[in-house]
Amino acid sequence: MIKKWYFYASLVVIITFLSLGFIPSSHETKPWFLIEKTDGSEYIFPSKEKDDYPNTNVPFTGNHLIGFKEAVAFKESQGKYRLVNSLGYMGKYQFGSKALRAIGINDNKAFLKDPALQEKAFTALLAKNKWILRNEIKRYEGKIISGIEITESGILAAAHLGGAGSVKNFFKNKGSRHFRDAFGTSLRSYMRDFAGYDLSFIEADSNATVND
């Protein structure tokens, strides 16, 4: 008799528990999956609409800085932070040691292990190259050289590939001499493929560095 009582009591508990799981929720549904509260304000992320981010400082993806960074990263390393290629270029954006030293990073191993540092390094190098190439950007932006429409973002992408000096030589020779890296990638291809991004968020800075 006691065993039967335990059996039926357990059965009732299980049925009750399962039934509660199917009671409709009274919570308001949200169109996206994450809600954050910052300084008392509520935002819903992510969103398909740019206007859904009226009070944030995050650049909208697409043809803005984030879109540029991710496009360059995919071309350089498919976005892999730990990648080191056969020539020793490192990280998501494939930095060489010389470029790292120019922005104040002296520990290659620490750089390779630190995604946040790699992101800061890319932004710092953009700022430095934007200052070095400020005259070229002002003079040639919007013009057609060697079949390529010149834009600020294309110039800065090419500088990331071959250095600011190579970009200066490209314009000095009116595009007649085509720099290529060890894998055959040309400055022209970077100027073409990364044209038209809005990098006004980046301020030209001759002393741009990253504290590692």
DSSP H stretches of helix in 34-163? 65-77, 97-102, 108-112, 115-132, 134-140, 152-162
Mean pLDDT taken over the chain: 79
Cis previous bond, 54, omega within 30: no
Residue 45 has pLDDT above 90, yes or no: no
Nearest-angstrom CA–CA distance, 92 and 94:
6
Residue 26 has pLDDT above 90, yes or no: no
Least confident of 3-7, 75-79, 91-95: 3-7
Least confident of 41-50, 116-125, 147-156, 188-197: 41-50
User: Region 92-121: what's the mean pLDDT?
Assistant: 95
Residue-range domains of the chain with CATH: 2-52 (no CATH), 65-193 (1.10.530.10)
For residue 40, the model assigns a pLDDT of: 39
Percent of the residues in the chain that have a pLDDT greater than 90, as a whole number: 56
pTM (2 decimals)? 0.69
